[in-house]
Amino acid sequence: MGRSVARTTVRSGIFRMTQLDPIDRRILEILVADARIPLTELARAVGLSKTPVAQRLKRLEESGIITGYRAILSPLKLGLTHVTYVEISMSDTRQKALEEFNAAVRLIPEVEECYMIAGGYDYQLKIRSRDMAHFRQVMAERISTLPYITSTSSYVAMEAVVEQNWTAI
Amino acid sequence: MGRSVARTTVRSGIFRMTQLDPIDRRILEILVADARIPLTELARAVGLSKTPVAQRLKRLEESGIITGYRAILSPLKLGLTHVTYVEISMSDTRQKALEEFNAAVRLIPEVEECYMIAGGYDYQLKIRSRDMAHFRQVMAERISTLPYITSTSSYVAMEAVVEQNWTAI
DNA sequence: CCTGAAAAATTATTCGC
DNA sequence: GCGAATAATTTTTCAGG
């Protein structure tokens, strides 16, 4: 079969910051760029035979370094290019309130990212939507009704300069 | 073969916001959760035979909706859990300056995300690093030397509540 | 811990309906 | 779009260094 999707270019230089075995690191770099590469090709690319590469791969998966394999989609083609960051301040930052908030946030499909932040506000959400109208709807119906919110500030993204995607929680 | 990686759970409700054919949407949902599912299984999951599913898949790939397939890694296991958002203000926001800045940002592996923002500041960067020391090094050596910067503010993430990953530029 | 080749299993493609 | 037959690819195993 000739795979009809080009290998995604991934800026994987970050892996150099890691204390992995160099061959494991190379395996990860290749797999992050092309999750469907056959073992045969992968082995050739790292300069070993299939047996040790299969072992290494299995170890990387079972140790949880590789958490899965995903298709990567084009937001442009899906009509989901509108990105907004929402900063949220909380009225209650005790553990129970935060956990309640976290659980509620995780139910909103438009939330692509949510971090608790140290500093001026409490949470930062990245919202992906079709357009401004869709974003406003998400804000009105899902975000502003989250528990313990006191205020929000929204910042609309005008251009995506870098969007990297190889991490999982 | 028993694949030893569990299918990643992906909150793919966002695809409902899309005007795709329901079967194509289902195919995407499955592939975003498990890029390595065999055609046979995929066909069974969507309730069609292999032939039409192979055609649909090819169409989704060739139309650019699916841009690639990636392994997803654990930042925790890699020791890359330190996330910081950096807001940047620019001294020059003319097109040429912005393009120069964009090109320079794309060379920094620790930059996981970079958007041009409408509002109080000009860019927001998401930096992934090993720890605070590593982050400070990135700031000192890579970020603060970017062209046309006037000021930066950094916000450290204390907890990852949602990290979604299915998009590509 | 790695090699190389044989064997086994799985997966994709084709084609008539 | 279906299903079976065919073809191709891929993974696993194993003897040997």
CB A101 within 8 A of CB B6: no
A29 domain residue, yes or no: yes
Residue numbers in B near A117 (CB within 8 A): 85, 155-158
Position A144 in a domain: yes
Neighbours of B119 (CB within 10 A): 14
Q: What is the DSSP string of A61-96?
A: HHTTSEEEEEEEE-HHHHT--EEEEEEEEES--SHH
CA distance A104 to chain B (A): 10
Domain of residue B103, CATH code: 3.30.70.920
Residues of chain B with pLDDT under 50: 1-2
B59 with B81, same domain: the answer is: no
Percent of chain A with pLDDT over 90: 83
Claim to verify: residue A125 and residue A152 sit in the same structural domain: yes
The verdict on residue B107 lying in a domain is yes
B16 within a domain of the structure (yes/no): no
Convert the pLDDT of each residue in A15-40 to its tens digit. 888 889 999 999 999 999 999 999 99
- Is residue B113 a part of any domain in this protein? yes
**Co-location of A82 and A151 in the same domain:** yes
- Asked if A95 and A150 sit in the same domain, the reply is yes
pLDDT of A1 > 60? The answer is no
In angstroms, the CA B48 to CA B20 distance is 17
End-to-end CA distance of chain B: 33
Would the pLDDT of A71 be above 90? yes
**Which protein residues, judged by their CB atom, are less than 7 Å from any atom of strand C?**
A 1-2, 23, 47-52, 55-56; B 1, 38-41, 50-51, 54
Confirm whether A88 is domain-assigned. Answer: yes
Q: What is the pLDDT of residues B22-71, one digit of tens each?
A: 999 999 999 999 999 999 999 999 999 999 999 999 999 999 999 999 99
Of B17, B69, B118, the CB nearest to A69: B69
Please check whether residues B137 and B83 belong to one and the same domain: yes
pTM for this one?
Answer: 0.91
Band (A2; pLDDT cuts 50, 70, 90): very low
Expressed as residue numbers, the domain containing A58 is: 22-63
Same domain for B95 and B125, yes or no, is yes
- Whether B121 and B141 map to the same domain: the answer is yes
Round and report the angstrom distance from CA (B52) to C1' (D4). Answer: 16
Sign of the CA dihedral running A129, A163, A161, B57 = negative
What 8-state DSSP symbol labels residue B2?
-
The alpha carbons of chain B give a radius of gyration, in whole angstroms, of 20
Specify the number of domains making up chain A: 2
Contact between the CB of A55 and strand D at under 7 Å: no
Query: In this complex, do A17 and B160 lie within 8 Å of one another by their Cβ atoms?
Result: no
Find, in chain A, the residue whose alpha carbon is nearest to that of B28: A71
Interface of A with B in 3-62 (CB under 8 A): 4-8, 10-20, 28, 31-36, 58, 61-62
The CATH code of the domain that includes B31 is 1.10.10.10
